[in-house]
Structure 1
């Protein structure tokens, strides 16, 4: 049997990083009212809910803010009311009225319709990365104050540009871009018309179970209880320590220095399966691992090279030997578990076919390229395997490792050649991924909308038209048929090699209960968590 170590070409040591001064010494056992978590925290650039657009940051945001609705963690194709007590659409499916439930911000002030309207208007006016999720309904900086209106203290109306299925609108509002912020607090911290953006990047003004005490990038996050919020357990504080090395996370869990370890590898999880002191909370999530080929590179812009890369990869070998308990082979842009997802895996390693495609592209002698990837495991191990696979067909890969947010920043600036990264879905509808992978209307460097496809300079008008047709199709069965056909075409005709879908596992000490993992990252919740 091929071992993981033999499967890889070498290995890489990853440094252990420190955490908040509040927890600088190891606990013999963590205090009963403080939850201590070991987690890789480099996937964050902002904690402003209308700007942050990374998985880990989204998780933190969702524990500090509430939205009108949220995805149901047990049945994610439905939504659960939160700030909204009820909602209804008019006969034309253009005017949507929300009645609000009672809720309070961390300041003690009541959440009002004015806060709701301001928050959604703010998201549109700021127009940061996640704004496309709700500006697709026709909201613009010029019209949003007229189209999102507080009618009274408990009533908000949203008027969309065209008739809209209320289920689709609700799914979009369940994303963090729909988070409700306290208008008064945010505007008190506004600087030069930024709507409080600079302040909210490292502070909070929400009504969720916790509020932000401190965030030190690549070190720690400390959350404290929102005494006016929905949390009813015995925790007063949650400290999340940035621990890159999974082996360090496991050792800290076993010693009692942390209550939850969030990023253990398959090797560590196997060892813990029989440990009576640990409970494993598992969830397949809507997160894909993929390789992006930047179309600004002449070699990577050849469709034959797209295909060659996909046929060169040993998907099954990597899954079996590197990520057996954390990922499954998956090749569609839509995650398994979503309506209409194609679960076929047509690409299998075929070196001779890949070489023939390279020759057809006029690149029989190969070429040199750099692959950026996250520094945290399992990405270094996967990158080494990819390097070997592509080397077999003449693509000479130089590996470039960096923190998660550094890789993302480089991709958002179109600075990568090839990149191994992850993409997490934003809301429970196939349009969420189809839009970011297929609809890139403006491929210029200064485009107002910069979806995932834009980052790699990929623009395909035919795919975009088909994605829009699927999005707008009113017949549910026909809509899913259109999405299935779109996925198959994207597999064959795009510069993205989707490889795996992630299964997350939180390893919890037996006295820690109630932590929830969601299909979407914002469903990872401390709301029900407590310690014996």
Structure 2
């Protein structure tokens, strides 16, 4: 079967009168066989099968199908063992011993400690900018060693109480020793590679020898549908069985019907705007503070999320461990914002706000926020970028951009996005003292002292950072009524896109 990408027009043609949704049954006996077709927003030619280069949710779903990490994240952001059977730190938390499960790659080769060490060395290669590199940076890989084929001794550069979370870092997948060509990937995951056309489609087949048991499905197919409306209509029209990343508006419109099931993970989708702190006008902290004060978070929550979410306070990770919930909620104050802009010498400020159809509600939020800024005398030009290249472009270009994030530990958010050498430092936040305090945080074993450092760093970001976090949306996916086994889960966690446990009736 030839797989193709789904467009809004093509999906609308099949949706017709099938505008029904609701709850599929639960508790049924799992069945083996069949094919599941899942629709994700994509990234065009930038899509990849290299598990260490994943950035998009479509990339992450494909990587998860074909590869495993040593650990993954539970919904509470705690590390859950995967390829690691166990881990244990020494008394001062500078050496961690990880015992591997018995697992095999798709070509029949056994998983070994050498594969793990090779994978981590590749991820931390200083010539590369892999996202998991900062999470694994505390490991001294020259000093680390394979004790035997199934045991790795990781020697750290400093004590690290939260080391297991590093094993679960986004993109920290294990590949075979020596792997550098991913056109026909070989992993230990529940599905084996079958076909891939960047920006259009992907197919993988059940791996009978997966260490966690074979998948229930015979085949997984992932197709690209960039617009949410295309994903929804493809689901309603029977083109796909699973639609990723749906908006609260869509959920509300389809609640109570029977043809689809909507699954929601509350408050796990961070929404906001990212300001470049290294260039005008946002290199002046007073201008950034004015943006914070001009944002009407409640209005955005009601308009974009239909009230289905949580108000943000310009910090990532609401509800997660180490979140600085003692920091007072920021309130809108238009006059104070105007005073800050005048003090900064830019009372008639003009900005270009980048956005794209890369996530449910992002363009709508940008339009509403632009109107809120205009109430403070800020002139705003909306720049709608190409969805396929949006994330790579805004990493280095522009002034302020629509932004979103799935779940990860707050430590990973700091290391991947807010250190001088972070690979996805979208706000260009570079502060040597901040880097040093983060390193101290990592090295602090006492939980109370470590939390005090988390609070300190988050207070800095709340006062003068570049992320304006206005809300946390529910993470919503939709499935056809005949699909079973999909669990509501925050993106980037163990049960998210866990298609090996899904079946169809």
TM-score by length of structure 2 reads 0.86
Structure 2 partner of 1:204: 185
Quote how far apart the aligned CAs of 1:32 are: 6.5
Give the CA deviation at 1:464.
3.4
Preserved contact between residue 332 and residue 488 of structure 1 (Cα < 8 Å): no
In the other structure, the counterpart of 1:114 is 114
**Quick one: distance in 1 between partners of 2:165 and 2:271?**
23
Contact 2:338 2:376 in 1 (8 A): yes
Equivalents in 2 of 1:398, 1:46: separation in Å?
Answer: 32
Q: 2:331 aligns with which of 345, 348, 362?
A: 348
Shift of 1:127: 3.4
C-alpha distance in structure 1 between counterparts of 2:188 and 2:106, whole Å:
6
Say if 1:69 and 1:245 are closer, same or farther in 2 by CA, change over 3 A: closer
In structure 2, distance between residues paired with 1:218 and 1:285: 29
Distance 1:451 1:221 in 2: 26
1:181 counterpart = 2:179: no
Aligned to 1:16: 8
**1:138 CA displacement:** 4.5
Match of 1:132 in 2: 133
Mapping 1:445-484, distance limit 5 Å: 449-453=421-425, 455-484=426-455
* Distance change >3 Å, CA 110–CA 511, structure 1 → 2: same
2:49 corresponds in structure 1 to: 47
2:206 maps to which residue? 225
Q: 1:203 to 1:328 in 2, by over 3 A?
A: farther
Equivalent position of 1:516 in the other structure: 487
Matched with 1:530 is 503
Q: How many Å separate the matches in 1 of 2:227 and 2:412?
A: 32
Distance 1:515 1:419, change over 3 A: same
Deviation at residue 404 of structure 1 after TM alignment:
4.3
Rounded Cα–Cα distance in structure 2 between residues aligned with 1:296 and 1:289: 22
Give the C-alpha shift of residue 528 in structure 1. Answer: 0.9
SS at match of 2:8: coil
SS in 2 for 1:183: coil
The equivalent of 1:4 in structure 2 is none
Distance in 1 between the 2:345 and 2:333 partners? 19
Distance 2:313 2:213 in 1: 39
Task: Provide closer, same or farther for how the CA distance between residues 262 and 104 of structure 1 changes in structure 2, counting only shifts above 3 A.
Answer: same
CA distance in 2, matches of 1:511, 1:260: 10
With over 3 angstroms needed to count, the CA separation of the structure-2 counterparts of 1:66 and 1:529, relative to structure 1, is: same
Q: Could you tell me how far apart the structure 1 residues matched to 2:231 and 2:491 are?
A: 23
- Give 1:333 shift: 2.6
Instruction: Identify the residue that residue 155 of structure 1 maps to in structure 2.
Output: 151
- Check the 8 A contact 1:371/1:419 in 2, yes or no: yes
* Consecutive aligned runs of 4 or more in structure 1 exceeding 4 Å deviation: none
Q: CA RMSD in A?
A: 3.0
**Residue pair 1:212, 1:223 contacting (<8 A) in 2 also:** yes
Distance 1:384 1:82 in 2: 42
Shift of 1:452: 4.0
**How far apart, CA to CA, are the structure 2 residues paired with 1:332 and 1:471?**
23
Partner of 1:123: 123
Residues 220 and 240 of structure 1 are in contact (CA less than 8 Å); yes or no, is this contact kept in structure 2? Answer: yes
Within 2, Cα distance between the matches of 1:234 and 1:423?
Answer: 30
Determine if contact 2:273/2:467 at 8 Å carries over to the other structure: yes
Spell out the pairing of 1:361-510 with structure 2 (5 A cutoff): 361-367=344-350, 369-376=351-358, 377-412=360-395, 414-426=396-408, 428=409, 430-440=410-420, 449-453=421-425, 455-510=426-481
Q: Distance in 1 between matches of 2:152 and 2:9?
A: 45
C-alpha change, 1:345 and 1:213, in structure 2 (3 Å) is: farther
Q: Does 1:37 align with 2:38?
A: yes
Q: CA deviation at 1:164?
A: 2.7
Mark the CA change 1:406 to 1:310 in structure 2 (over 3 Å): closer, same or farther.
same
Where does the alignment leave 5 or more consecutive residues of structure 1 unmatched? 1-13, 187-195, 441-448
Return the structure number with greater relative CO, CA threshold 8 A, min gap 6: 2
CA distance in 2, matches of 1:316, 1:353: 18
Q: Which blocks of at least 5 consecutive residues in structure 2 are unaligned? A: 1-5, 19-31
Q: Deviations over 1:307-344 (max 9, x none)?
A: 11111112111110111366432124331231131346
Q: Distance in 1 between matches of 2:74 and 2:451?
A: 21
How many residue pairs end up in the alignment?
479
Residue 41 of structure 1, CA deviation: 2.0
- Determine if contact 1:222/1:239 at 8 Å carries over to the other structure: yes
Structure 1 residues 500 and 530 mapped into 2: Cα distance closer, same or farther (>3 Å)?
A: same
Change (3 A) 1:365 1:163: closer
1:256 matched residue in structure 2: 238
User: Structure 1 residues 112, 267: closer, same or farther in 2, change over 3 A?
Assistant: same
- CA change 1:470–1:113 in 2 (3 A) is closer
Instruction: Report SS of the residue matched to 2:98.
Output: strand
Shift of 1:209: 0.9
